[in-house]
């Protein structure tokens, strides 16, 4: 971050009484305040039957339900909290906000609202001349496809320069996701083998035990590919595959990541298997004949000298047997089997476990004690921690307030990611029904090469080796 970047001096969140504020924003604010780096007016904006005391009560409930109430930090949050209650279409709402902002000249606006309202809110801010010097944080999904993402970007750019737009993908704020980059570039032993000569394939699985739980209406608009593949999981692939940024280059990390996105080959219909768990159509807010996918398995290739020909198998689904997100980078087997010759899928690997627990482990083979030269697969545990110390929203909101955009997504990267999935959105591919509690439709195997198979993450870490 350049030293000239100044911190925001007010935090304004639109959608103050909504779900995102309740589940993520209030808890992140309390944590930031507890950390001692967050002294500024906090202004919630929404049209609601609540008054300021009602909003405070909601904030209290929110932090109690998400991480626990910290009496001192919450008292400070409560004291800094203002509420502008009004319709976004009413210029009076923005006059109230203008007054609440007082002398603040570098507000951070968090648009925790549906994208259809972005233009209305941005125009309202321009109407009271409160857009200069501001930053704006916007939530995914950034559009529904490439062309709507471009339209959304044009809307935002009418009022804010690209440098002031912070697109949140909470995955980038996760500790183990950051560690992907760190582990890759801080260790010399990986670089020589992190390429097509040595890597056989890569699997990324994001399994969720829950269904759509009261989010049926939202989910109907997105489906698994738009909800998590286009953003979280392609971001993970970009971090796994990007080149190291040149030394000291400002924003070099985002430049390299963007190149990785551009190298991803747009998916063909034969690269994708979509599934829907049985019973999804009976969820609240879901059409009885919905063809929206709750599971997607994808085979992706990157056209770069480092990665050409290496398949990236990506899988995400709801109502799977357990919740876990894992990456498995599988290496090729030794070229000449001196001893036993296990199948390719049992080769050495690096496994990054992103959730619910966090670990990095290496898969290797060792000789089984005894008279024969035969071995077993073991795992060398590199690192294991119970969970994230810092929540993604705490990290990302703190960064946005300080003006550090490193972990935020650029317009070009968002559009490149949409170009990858655009050809397979909607009904472009068949939909297969799967039973809740299974690993998705059996058809998901079809995108795998004959010798490969999906590796299903375990619910509890099992380490055969030592750390």
Residues in the chain: 467
**Residue 228 vs 407, nearer CB to ligand BG6:** 228
Give the C-alpha separation, 398 to 390, whole Å.
11
Residue 208 binding ligand BG6, by CB under 6 A: yes
Provide, rounded to whole angstroms, the least separation between the CB of residue 211 and ligand BG6: 10
**DSSP-assigned letters across all residues of 337-390:** -SS----GGGS-EEEEEEESSEEEEEEEEEEPSSSS--EEEEEEEEEEESS-SS
Cis check: omega of the bond before 356, within 30 degrees of 0: yes
Q: What is the dihedral of CA 30, 32, 35, 41, to 10 degrees?
A: -90
Q: Is 198 a catalytic residue?
A: no
* Range 82-111, binding ligand BG6 (CB under 6 A): none
The arrangement of strands across the sheet holding 42-46 comes to: 81-85, 42-46, 10-14, 107-111, 135-139, 165-168
Give the residue from 197, 183, 154 showing the smallest Cα distance to 411: 154
**Residue 159 vs 391, nearer CB to ligand BG6:** 391
Give the C-alpha separation, 113 to 13, whole Å.
9
**Residue 227 vs 283, nearer CB to ligand BG6:** 227
Give the C-alpha separation, 340 to 352, whole Å.
27
Of residues 232, 336, 432, 463, which has the active-site annotation?
232
10 Å CB burial of residue 300 (0-12, 13-18, 19+) is buried
* Range 410-429, binding ligand BG6 (CB under 6 A): none
Question: Which spans in 81-117 are helix H?
Answer: 91-101
Provide, rounded to whole angstroms, the least separation between the CB of residue 28 and ligand BG6: 13
List CB contacts of 114: < 8 A, sequence separation 6 or more: none
Please pick, from the candidates 8, 62, 355, 359, the single residue that binds ligand BG6 as defined by CB under 6 A: 355
> Helix 146-157 vs helix 118-127: angle between axes, to the nearest 10 degrees?
10
Q: Nearest-CB residue to ligand BG6?
A: 227
**Residue 68 vs 387, nearer CB to ligand BG6:** 387
Kindly state the number of chain residues that form the binding site for ligand BG6, as judged by CB under 6 A: 4
Cis check: omega of the bond before 141, within 30 degrees of 0: yes
Residue 228 binding ligand BG6, by CB under 6 A: yes
**Residue 183 vs 218, nearer CB to ligand BG6:** 218
Provide, rounded to whole angstroms, the least separation between the CB of residue 356 and ligand BG6: 9
Please pick, from the candidates 9, 227, 379, 388, the single residue that binds ligand BG6 as defined by CB under 6 A: 227
Residue 256 binding ligand BG6, by CB under 6 A: no
Residue 137 binding ligand BG6, by CB under 6 A: no
Provide, rounded to whole angstroms, the least separation between the CB of residue 194 and ligand BG6: 25
Provide, rounded to whole angstroms, the least separation between the CB of residue 141 and ligand BG6: 8
Residue 139 binding ligand BG6, by CB under 6 A: no
Provide, rounded to whole angstroms, the least separation between the CB of residue 22 and ligand BG6: 15
Give the C-alpha separation, 355 to 388, whole Å.
9
**Residue 208 vs 394, nearer CB to ligand BG6:** 208
Provide, rounded to whole angstroms, the least separation between the CB of residue 208 and ligand BG6: 6
Q: How many Cβ atoms sit within 10 Å of the Cβ of residue 128?
A: 16
Give the C-alpha separation, 48 to 467, whole Å.
53
Provide, rounded to whole angstroms, the least separation between the CB of residue 174 and ligand BG6: 7
Q: Are 24 and 56 in contact, with CB atoms under 8 Å apart?
A: no
Tokens of 339: 């001893």
**Residue 227 vs 379, nearer CB to ligand BG6:** 227
Q: Are 243 and 259 in contact, with CB atoms under 8 Å apart?
A: yes
Q: Are 315 and 296 in contact, with CB atoms under 8 Å apart?
A: yes
**Residue 179 vs 355, nearer CB to ligand BG6:** 355
Q: Report the catalytic residues.
A: 232
Q: Which residues bind ligand BG6 (CB under 6 A)?
A: 208, 227-228, 355
């Amino acid at each position: 971050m350049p030293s000239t970047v100044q911190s925001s001096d007010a935090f304004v969140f639109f959608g103050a009484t909504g779900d995102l504020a309740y589940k993520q924003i209030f808890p992140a604010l309390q944590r930031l305040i507890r950390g001692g780096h967050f002294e500024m007016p906090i202004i919630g904006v929404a049209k609601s039957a609540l008054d300021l005391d009602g909003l405070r009560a909601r904030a209290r409930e929110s932090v109690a339900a998400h991480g626990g109430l910290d009496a001192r930090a919450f008292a400070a949050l409560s004291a800094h909290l203002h509420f502008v209650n009004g319709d976004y279409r009413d210029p009076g709402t923005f006059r109230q906000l203008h007054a609440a902002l007082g002398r603040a000249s570098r507000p951070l606006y968090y648009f925790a609202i549906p994208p259809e309202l972005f233009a209305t809110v941005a125009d309202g801010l321009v109407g009271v001349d409160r857009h200069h010097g501001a930053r704006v944080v916007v939530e995914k999904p950034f559009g529904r496809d490439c062309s709507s993402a471009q339209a959304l970007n044009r809307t935002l750019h009418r009022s804010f320069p690209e440098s002031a737009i912070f697109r949140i993908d909470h995955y980038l704020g996760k500790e183990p996701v950051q560690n992907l980059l760190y582990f890759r570039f801080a260790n010399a032993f990986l670089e020589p083998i992190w390429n097509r000569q040595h890597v056989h394939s890569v699997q990324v699985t994001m399994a969720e035990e829950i269904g759509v739980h009261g989010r049926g209406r939202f989910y109907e608009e997105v489906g698994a590919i738009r909800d998590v593949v286009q953003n979280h999981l392609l971001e993970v692939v970009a971090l796994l595959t990007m080149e190291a940024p040149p030394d000291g280059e400002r924003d070099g990390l985002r430049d390299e990541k963007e190149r990785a996105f551009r190298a991803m080959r747009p998916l063909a219909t034969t690269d994708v298997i979509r599934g829907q768990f049985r019973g999804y159509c009976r969820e609240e807010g879901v059409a009885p004949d919905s063809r929206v996918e709750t599971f997607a398995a994808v085979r992706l290739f990157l056209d770069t000298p480092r990665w050409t020909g290496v398949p990236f198998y990506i899988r995400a689904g709801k109502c799977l047997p357990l919740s876990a997100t894992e990456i498995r980078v599988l290496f090729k087997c030794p070229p000449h089997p001196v001893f036993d010759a296990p199948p390719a899928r049992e080769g050495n690997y690096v496994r990054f476990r992103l959730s619910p627990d966090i670990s990095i482990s290496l898969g290797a083979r060792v000789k089984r004690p005894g008279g024969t030269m035969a071995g077993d697969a073991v795992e060398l545990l590199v690192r294991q921690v119970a969970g994230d110390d810092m929540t993604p929203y705490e990290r990302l909101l703190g960064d946005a307030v300080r003006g550090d955009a490193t972990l935020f997504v650029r317009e070009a990267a968002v559009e490149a990611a949409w170009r990858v999935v655009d050809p397979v959105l909607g009904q472009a591919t068949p939909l297969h029904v799967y039973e809740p509690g299974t690993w998705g439709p059996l058809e998901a195997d079809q995108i795998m090469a004959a010798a490969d198979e999906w590796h299903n993450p375990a619910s509890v870490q099992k380490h055969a080796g030592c750390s």
